[in-house]
Amino acid sequence: MRTALLQSSGRPGSIAENLKVLDEAAGRAAAAGAALLAAPEMFLTGYAIGDDIARFAEPADGDSADAIAEIAGRHGLAIAYGYPERDGDTVHNSAQLISADGTRLANYRKTHLFGGFERDHFTPGEQPVVQAELNGLTVGLMICYDVEFPENVRAHALAGTDLLVVPTAQMHPFQFVAESLVPVRAWESQMYVAYVNRVGREGEFEFVGLSVLAGPDGVARARAGREEQLVLADADPAFLAASREANPYLKDRRPGLYGSLV
């Protein structure tokens, strides 16, 4: 499945402008044969927008979800994107996957919040594995800091995730996560990992870009630089099946020894 990663910070503070950026990227991705477009963490609103997070937060089935469903349907590809989700008085840092026919397939709430900024503005989610079927692949959702916990990714592997989509807001000086850790996660848990980042300075944060789609062999199929960019690569189910057959990590696990992890 051809997957497009939209490395962009959009226009922080403007949902309308970010929908335009997403629409334009969806057109380019579809023209290049992509079946899935992934956008970064909090792409809908911007990340470093302070108390506006609560003001802009929407339910998973809100107006912006409807607008993105229309974009997905018009261009004929699925879209995964990050946004602030309102659930009553609670706000979550969430990612949603919408199919090419406009169906909301999956909604994930970030389980591991990073730093004081996120803990001040969000409530952590409680469901570590959220998945949907898309074009013959089991697609899982995760957000940024979540992927840095190997237990999280392994839980997806054991649940059958083939392609893990990770909208992110990875900042300086932690670029080694994009450069090294993400390909290792793909290798050790035998899946594709699509890690799609913001880029440039936003408030107090400097986002490093370096978005990557890593394969189960630990090799980057596509990697962005440090500027706004749309990169594409394929998640190949046949290659994934062969890699899982050749790599014994999941088969050689001894869960009875791991009780100390919990």
Active-site residue list = 41, 110, 144
Contacts of 130 by beta carbon, 8 Å cutoff, 6+ apart: 106, 107, 108, 140, 141
Residue 177 vs residues 48, 214, 218: alpha-carbon distances, Å: 20, 12, 13
Contacts 24+ apart (CB under 8 A), 235-241: 235/1, 235/3, 235/137, 235/162, 235/163, 235/192, 235/194, 237/1, 237/136, 237/137, 237/162, 239/215, 240/162, 240/190, 240/191, 240/192, 240/215, 240/216
Q: Tokens 């990590």 label which residue?
A: 249
Give me the helix-helix angle, 15-31 and 63-75, nearest 10°: 20
Tell me the backbone φ, ψ of residue 121, rounded to 5 degrees: -115, -15
Going by C-alpha positions, the residue among 169, 156, 164, 167 that lies closest to residue 198 is 169
Q: What is the CA radius of gyration of the chain?
A: 17
> Cβ(229)–Cβ(21) under 8 Å?
no
- What is the distance between the alpha carbons of residues 258 and 98, in angstroms, rounded to a whole number? 36
- Please give the distance of CA 122 from its chain centroid, rounded to a whole number: 18
